[in-house]
Amino acid sequence: MTITRARIDPRAEIADIDRRVFGGFVEHLGRHIYDGIFEPGHETADADGFRADVVALVRELGVSTIRYPGGNFVSGYRWEDGVGPKDQRPRRLDLAWHATETNQVGLHEFQDWLDKVGSDLMLAVNLGTRGTAEALDLLEYANTSVATTRTAERAANGRPAPFAVKMWGLGNEMDGPWQLGHRNADDYGKLASRTAKGMRQLDPSIELVVCGSSGRSMPTFGSWERTVLEHTFDDVDFISCHAYYQERDGDAQEFLASAVDMSKFIESVVETADHVAAVKKSDKRIMLSFDEWNVWYLSKWDEQAVTYGPDEWPVAPRQLEDQYHALDAVVFGDLLITLLQHADRVRSASLAQLVNVIAPIMTEPGGIAWRQTTFFPFSITSRLAGERAIRVPVDTGTFASAQFGEVPNVNAVATVDDGGVSLFVVNRSTTDAADLRIDLSAFGEDLALVESHLLHEDDPYAANTLADPERVGVRPIDGATLEASTLTAVLPPVSWAALRFA
């Protein structure tokens, strides 16, 4: 047992929290849309074909902005295919995921679904196989209220009022050799700058995200951000970051250090963006849109990749359907803590993804929908996080990481609002329980501990499955007390917790 001490002091404010940090991501991929959120024959399906059980879970998850329609998919997507009468929409080959896209869900249907789940739309434009003209067409279709041929078309398709999409992504992972239309940083930076300038001419109110690296381990990481921002600094508001983590070689302890990587990633991108600002003698600060983050067993997916025959292009195949266990959820909770610890620069983030595809929510066609283990840290953090993020320096034990040296066992962040204080904390040690002593005296004598949630399993590989969908959940922390303004609680090894004081 390691005694872990910390003090929560509202003067250690990081920043106000942009709720867009609790965003999600829906891509036309596998069974995400078709047989996921959209299953017209399902017993809970509404008149539009959307599963009501999935809508309820997405609402419970508490997702703010949802990035759509990709991902790798967007780099070959023609948005016009997804509007107009459904029986006239083309079937297309999706080269990114080797599937057939039926286009039965497009912009209008997705906005209808967002209205049901209570989330806002963030749209990505295709800068892979397409360019500025098509991005402008989509922006005019989505956001303009002036009478034009495009807006008449939108009205005829059922939406007289603009969609009024605020956040726009300029392509996806353009640094990745796997990306359709992949190009070097100079070429992408010039294209993104031209496109952004045109988009702002059409709608100056939008916020634009330029593609950063698709991972910190990319060989061009750092130089990509610098070059792209040299071209686009004046044109964009955000640069994107993408990161996925997984346990490798059965080394759970190393996996539990993943958030250190995310932290270094964020800090490096901030430093690079601020370097470009310095060179340009600008006070402008580029914000980060961490618009893909999660645990993803990418190596398993590569090993198990199905090889299709030349004429096999399935509709909505089972792809990237990772099953998450308790250990994954602890790492995931720590990633969320890390995003909040950088609330001053991470002003938007998208959990990748939402349903069936590396997702907190799973569905069975004609069957149930259930919460994966990662559902709990997200839904609880989204619900309990207050208005402002507070730094919580922690005095704790450490473990040795091959990649990061000595890593603190315990990591934490707090938030405050008029109603009270929330604390999010993780014990990354695989061996030592953490005996927490947290000083909350800065908030006076009147605080009470009103909620606590612990995610921990004696078997860290326990998971929720179709056969046993409620195997893993959260429970109150046994014996947690707040006395004389000090919280005392024991976090077992490999656990994540959230506490609310009011």
Residues of this chain that interact with ligand AHR (CB under 6 A) are: 27, 70-72, 172-173, 214, 292, 352-353
Cβ atoms of 26 and 68 within 8 Å: the answer is yes
DSSP annotation string for 247-284? --TT-HHHHTTHHHHHHHHHHHHHHHHHHHHHHTT---
Minimum CB distance to ligand AHR smaller for 70 or for 420: 70
Q: What are the distances in angstroms from CA 293 to CA 2, 367, 372, 427?
A: 30, 28, 16, 20
Nearer to ligand AHR, 71 or 189 (CB): 71
Nearest approach, Cβ of residue 497 and ligand AHR (Å): 28
Catalytic hit among 140, 173, 254, 457 = 173
324 φ, ψ (degrees, to nearest 5):
-95, 140
State the nearest-atom distance from the C-beta of 324 to ligand AHR, in Å. 15
From the CB of 172, what's the least distance to ligand AHR, in Å? 5
Query: In terms of CB distance, is 215 or 386 closer to ligand AHR?
Result: 215
Distance of closest approach, residue 65 Cβ to ligand AHR, in angstroms: 16
Which H or E run contains 137? helix 132-143
> Residue 86, Cβ neighbours under 10 Å: how many?
14
Contact between 313 and 93 (Cβ < 8 Å): yes
Q: Is the peptide bond before 69 cis (omega within 30 degrees of 0)?
A: yes
Q: Encode burial over 128-161: b for 16+ CB neighbours within 10 A, e otherwise.
A: bebbbebbbebbbbbbbeeeeebbeebeeeebee
- CB-wise, 213 or 422, nearer to ligand AHR? 213
From the CA atom positions of the chain, what is the Rg in Å? 23
Of 102 and 172, CB closest to ligand AHR: 172
User: What is d(CA 206, CA 302) in angstroms, rounded to the nearest whole number?
Assistant: 37
292 is catalytic: yes
Q: Please say if 225 is a catalytic residue.
A: no
Nearest distance from C-beta of residue 353 to ligand AHR, angstroms: 6
Closest-by-Cβ residue to ligand AHR is 71
Catalytic residues: 173, 292
